[in-house]
Every structure is written in structure tokens, then in C-alpha cells.
Amino acid sequence: MNTVKTGMLLAALTALFGVVGYLLGGGSGMLIALGLAVATNLYAYWNSDRLALSAHHAVEVDERTAPDLVRMVRELAQRAELPMPRVYVTENPQPNAFATGRNPENAAVAATTGLLSMLSPNEVAGVIAHELAHIKNRDTLIMTVSATVAGAIASLAQFGFLFGGRGEDRPSPVTMLLMVLVAPFAAMILQMAISRSREYDADRAGALILGQPLALASALAKIAGGVAHVPNMDAERHPATAPLFIVNPLSGRGMDNLFSTHPATENRIAALQALAQEMGPAPAPAGSFTRTAPSSPWNTGARRGPWG
């Protein structure tokens, strides 16, 4: 089903490419835009994960540089019956995380230094389990590809506004202004349609992987509070990547946040609390993660690595 949804989304984004091209350059503009859309779709399928990680300056870590984080990801991946994903950390004070990759065999999870410093180990585990659920559900392909293509649509509209045709071939200033404003929002609406329900599904699946729904609920509350006070400048520069994150990283001060790509955090927390009541008390060992070394990604003050 997710493969079908991915195809439908790519078709919709490709059509949107064509519409923007037609309004900016007529029939020839539409053909150029459709050709660009096909090339972008192919490129996004194979490279969207690297583009997302690069946009947020993510650095890959291993057992030497972030032993506790890598151990945690490995254990949770085993519980989820997934291949071990690559693990990244991005130097960013905003608490947040995302997953990317076209399939479970080529997946990656990334956490910000803000997340690792602000949350407890069990809360971080809840966030990682949520991201692994996205990987298991194969959400990461549609999310990363849509982010790449939506960004390309925004760039196309802005390029057309700056370098449109001349004389009678040039669209009216009103049309071009509408394209600059509407095209990115239309792409974001398409992303919103496929991201909201996926967050609820990933919350539930992640809570079951960890075995502690309330750990993820607590993490979401802390992340939402951090996002409200700490800007993520990389996300502001690349707003099309916002659906990748566990909580919308955009500040809301700019036009790019007109359409939210995530459900209300309060509703997600309420759903997790209801799940915790259904599950009842978890056995003590379930989902138990602790800090083990001063050099861990939760930094007890002795040594600082690429995680913070």
C-alpha cells in the first residue's frame, strides 16, 4: 500500500511540476518542467536520504564516537526485526530527530544534539523507536522523496519568477507572484496528506517496539516545548524537510509554516496515554536504557564528541 501511495504522490507532484511550468512558460515551459520532474523523481529516489542528511549537516557516528546511542539503536532495531540503520547526529540545539532512506536496508536515523542533551535515555529510546517504526512501515521513502520534490517545486517557482520569459512570453507579474506563493504550499499540502496519519501509526508502533508508550509521550512533550523556544535554522532554510522530523521543526514565524505537516502534539500524547492504559504496567526490564559512560551521547561532562 505504501508503494502505491508513493507512486500516487510522485504522480501528483509531477503533475504539479507541469502546472507550474505551464503557468510560467506555456506549453514549452510545461514540457521542460515535466522533464525536470522525471529527472528529479529518479534522483530523489536514489539520493533523497543523502540530501536530507546533508541539508542538516548530519555526522555519522559509531560505537567509538557515540557508544550508547549506537547500542540503543541496534537493540531497538533487533526488537523491530530491522537491519541496523546508519546512525547520525546533527549539531543543533533544538531537540528533534528524523529517519530517512528508500528502504530498511538503506535507512538512517538522525538525532540532534539538543535531543540527546535534553531527554532521558528512555525518552531518547522512545524517539528512536518511533523513527524505526517509520523505517519498518517504509514511510521514509515517501517522506524523503516528497521533501526533495517539494523543494524542487519551490525552486522552480522562484526560478521562473526571477528568470521567466521576456516580452509577451513572460507571465504576468500577478501570475508569477501567485506561483512563487502557491506552488510551495501546494507541495506542502500533498506532503501533509501523507504525513499526519503516519505520525500516529509510527507513535503506536514505536511505543510497542520500546514497550513504554509513556516514555515516547514524555519525549514528545519535551520536544514540542524545545521546538517552541529553540529555532532550527537548517530546517528554516530547508522547510520541505519538516515532515521528516518527529515534531515539526519550523518556528511558525515564517510563511513556510502556514500548513502544519504534523498532528497536534497534545493529540499524539493523548493517544499514547490511552495505549499505555490498554497495555497496563510494563515489566521492569522492558525498554530500560541507561547512561553508561562519560563519553555517551548524553554527556555527563567529561568528554565532548560530535553529539554535543
Strand order in the sheet with 58-60: 58-60, 86-90, 108-112, 97-100
Q: What is the rounded CA–CA span in Å between residue 151 and residue 164? A: 19
The answer to whether residues 272 and 207 touch, using CB atoms and an 8 Å cutoff, is: yes
Q: How far is CA 212 from CA 217, 260, 271, 272, in A?
A: 9, 27, 13, 9
Q: Looking at 91, 131, 168, 236, which residue is catalytic? A: 131
Q: For this structure, is 60 an active site residue?
A: no
Q: How far is CA 102 from CA 48, 107, 200, 215, 258, in A?
A: 8, 7, 21, 28, 28
Looking at this protein, which amino acid is placed at residue 164?
A: G
3-state secondary structure of 25: helix
> Which stretches does DSSP call E strand in the chain?
58-60, 86-90, 97-100, 108-112
Sequence-separated (6 or more) residues with CB below 8 Å from residue 117: 298, 299, 308
- Active centre residues (catalytic): 131
